[in-house]
Copies of this chain bind each other. A is one copy, B any other.
Amino acid sequence: MDDGISHNNNNNQILCPIKPIRCIVKLGGAAITCKNEIEKMNEESLEKVSSQLRQAMISGLSSVKICGMDWSKRPGNSEASPTVDDFSDQSLLDSDRFIVVHGAGSFGHFQASKSGVHKGGLNQPLVKAGFVATRISVTTLNLEIVRALAREGIPSIGMSPFSCGWLTCERNVASADVSMVAKAIDSGFVPVLHGDAVLDEAQDCTILSGDVIIRHLAAQLKPEYVVFLITVAAHDTTGGMVTKIWEAAMIAKLGIDVYIVKAATDDSLRALRGELKGNNVPEEWLGTVIRLLR
């Protein structure tokens, strides 16, 4: 194997991609959906976040026309399909080795909590149906986010943790094939993962949160920094801020800087661009840095 990825047979001990990952971004569910209305996107916020991600990923781009990569029909969208010429002046926009992971927000929670998927028990018809319903809802959201990023010219690729072989045991990650994520990055794509319903070796099934996915990816792929894009919310349904801070601290323990910052602000753009690396956090920056003291 000369691709820099060590392979083996149990899917779990991979693997650095060829070049290091720059950043893993968590899009908080509350930042991209309307939390109080079932399965409703916050289109405005998602559009801003996508635009900032593009600015952070693709540098020196201000003069280049954006060529969207979602060529699908959309309700109300009469945009002409792209032509070969549109792409002829695109220098190869290297999308700079980002991974995006998003939460569920108002997608999935209803289905999961109604059926108790997190507690397991696939031999109960309600849990089994809830598992199917939860996956339908979270993959619907994933597709919307992949499309929003693609419209900004980000080469986004949806990758469902269930399909990628993520399994838990007593709700901790038991195995996860990160090799396809690494291959997608090495091919110039931006993988987009999400909190998902997954199989659990001890209790049949559970919910794997986006925050746990990020911690696992960070441990395996060692990004330069991790950014959590959040809204300032009074409460948060997936374990809340305490869990998030704990997961962030576990990442920081690996020596990786973590920034927690309000989505779609000047502060989030600076964090995404990596301007806070080193000891370079300016006075006026609003957000939380979690970093291992050396």
Please list the residues of chain A having a beta carbon within 8 angstroms of any beta carbon in chain B: 7-11, 13, 38-39, 67, 69-73, 81-82, 84, 87-88, 90-93, 110-111, 114, 122-126, 128-133, 135-137, 139-140, 143, 146-147, 150, 155-160, 162-165, 167, 177, 179-180, 183-184, 187-189, 199, 204-205
Contacts and interface: CB of A to CB of B under 8 A. Distances in A.
Contacts of A180: 162-165
B187 A67 contact: no
B129 A87 contact: yes
A136 B70 contact: yes
Contacts of A189: 131-132
A70 to B, nearest CB: 5
A135 B158 contact: yes
By Cβ-Cβ distance, the 10 closest A-B pairs, closest first, are A90-B125, A71-B133, A163-B163, A69-B132, A87-B126, A7-B10, A87-B125, A69-B129, A159-B163, A39-B73
Contact of A137 (B13, B72, B199): B72
Contact of A72 (B69, B136, B184): B136
A111 B72 CA distance: 8
A111 to B, nearest CB: 5
A147 B158 contact: no
Nearest to A67: B129
A290 to B, nearest CB: 30
Contacts of A10: 7-9
Contact of A126 (B84, B156, B157): B84
A81 to B, nearest CB: 7
Nearest to A128: B155
A133 B69 contact: yes
A38 B125 contact: no
